[in-house]
A and B are shown apart, each in its own frame.
Chain A
Amino acid sequence: MSLFGSLQIANNALFASQVGLQVTGNNIANANTPGYIRQRPVFTPAATQLIGNLPLGLGVQVEGIIQQSDRFLADRLRGAISDLAGSEAQEEAYVQLEALIGELTNSDLSTSLSGFFNSINDILNQPEDIAVRNLAVLQGTTLTDDIRRMNSRVLGVRDNVNDQIASAATDINRLVSQIAKLNVNIVQTEGGTTRASDAVGLRDQRELAMAELSKIVKIRAAEQPNGSISLFAGGDFLVIGGEYREVEVQSTSDRGFSIAAVHLAATDAPLAASGGRLAGLYAARDEILGGFVDDLDTLAATLTFEFNKIHANGQGLTGLTEVQSEFAVDSASLALDQAGLPFTPVNGSFQVKLLNTRTGLTKTTDVFVRLNGLNSDTSLEGLTASLNSIDGLVASINADRRLTISTDASNLEFSFGSDTSHVLASLGMNTFFSGSNSRDIGINAVVRSDASKFAASEGGVGEDTNIALLLAAFGERPLESRNGQTLVKQYEELVVKVTQASAVTQAVNEGFRVYQQTLEGQYLGLTGVSIDEEAINMIAYQRTYQASARLVATISELLNILMNL
């Protein structure tokens, strides 16, 4: 062992301290850099030299600089980010949906419903007043407008969500290509050694990109021995080494709308999105918003068909002179329950009442609609023939396969009653509502243009108000087709379903957020920079440096002494 040897030890120590300071400086500089992972120099004692029987240390050597990270924690954090992002996307949809429904305010659908049924109550109060009937028709218009508006606004939100899904593909492509490039760079930088985290800055970037990707789609990461990372979504790989797969947007059709889905361009398979914002957007679009539109459609269909079933049995203040069925059949020779009508008629009959306005006398005829599936079921042609056989009535099927009924004399008016076959409501004759879902629900043109056709009476034109009684209480009437549920309850269920699902999603979201923040806390605790810690380190390096420099000075003095001998 020589003095020069000792000098070398001091030299190493000086170097190590400088490196330490540099790393500390780097850490301090990046204390606020997002995604930055704290670095730490690794010092090891240099090999010992056996001089005589004395093992003498050779000082310190800098083994390397490593990142202070936990791969498993990072994995879990990414998972939590995916879950949170997915749930947040759903929560956003619910927030918007709840705002659209606007329940608890005075402009919601339930108010329109109540207003409509209340206006029918007013018809009961003043059946002779045509203005009151007109008001009921206007209230009905408000109600149907509200339903249609809700439908179109929800569809608007759905469109927006759909656009977000389409744009997610661009982000995914950008991120996977970036990660693939970083993979290559990291492997090159680290030279394929197992010593982790040589390419520290690159790894930070990659970690950041992966976190961003996790936000969009839930991924599984597997670090390879050479330092590159393979990414999988479901069973499909997105990135392996420098290779990556691009995704593309494909359009399919759902509920009559074009919807976007993210597919892997190479295999054409849909990208498995079990979590992340993409999955959340899918759920928001298809289940939350789509499901709501489905429910709204069911509500509109129930309202239309069930209400019309009653209304079609009634007569207004004046009879009808000409009506055309609203719905066309697929073929006039098909049995009516197979003819593609939006609502299906059943075996039964209805009455046609022909009123002679000159004498005030009515002639009733039974029209049978045979739909028992056993023999010669009634088709639109058969129905037309039955109607034509009634003296004074002319029925025909026009070019677009709709039924037209009119009278052949100016003093004749007709009306309907006792329809157990629901064929009138199915064809859309003598109905109040038109349409069959929340997109096209409206008011029948006949009633809209002449409120006196509002069918309040059961026993003949302007005779009584028995039908209006049923209609006024319709909202609270248990419906067989809904297993005894009332329309009002159906609507409330629709709203409560959204409300509760929204509340549940918010709670779940909160859970995800807490979990994500907890993990992030841990992660930041591990990877983040503590200025205090760095300051302490800095002082330690400084002191080591001072001590080592002192050592050099001491050795120098010793050498001086030697020289001066």
Chain B
Amino acid sequence: MTGHAVEWRLGNEDTLRYLERMDVLSVFADCLTAPAPPSDLWSRGSSGNLMEVRTLSNELEQNNLNDVPHILAIAQDLLLGRVTAERMGAACTLLSEVTQNVTHSGSQGYALMQIYKAGNGRRVHIAVGDTGRGIPDSLRRKYPQVGQSSDYLKKSLESGITSREIGNGLGLYQVQHLVRNGGGTLTIRSDTAMLQINEGKVYQWDDLTRIPGTQVFITIWGRHEKGDWNYLLPMP
């Protein structure tokens, strides 16, 4: 992994602590890397473009009635004056729908957001992670014949697909719809698989190192300057 200042091998407890900081991580088949120690990258309490990591309960009432609305309120403050009202609404929808899903995982989650100048506009990065069951595991019981782990990630984006017996399966469907319409990138890393939607195409990876839980990473709007933005894995 030359060219990366920091490398965490799985097994290092810090890995899990920093999973939520996917914005600055690269995910490879057997490790996660970052260009600098997370403490240097994220200890910026005065940063105006950053929603610092917020924790999310997996308990339904706490998550849905408290954590998620608080995160949306903070996100609105951050986005106000930087993006249009329509984009602020879409960004809040993305945050809301993904952060609610932490309740499926059985573990605490994390959310963060950052805004970057990109050309004449702004680019929004959203990352939500947890260290719980993971999407393939939670869907496999209800849909046993789907295929490999990455196929379950793809399945999770379809309308009506949910791990619950009486469910809805609307949230992630709307997320991928907004990302596609916004010219963004959606990356989901869960279990041994990863899925990425970029420029209308869907990419899947399997047999990566198992990472507990699910990490969702969204980039949207602004120019995607290839080379300047480090996509998580080389495109297959």
Q: Do these two chains interact?
A: no
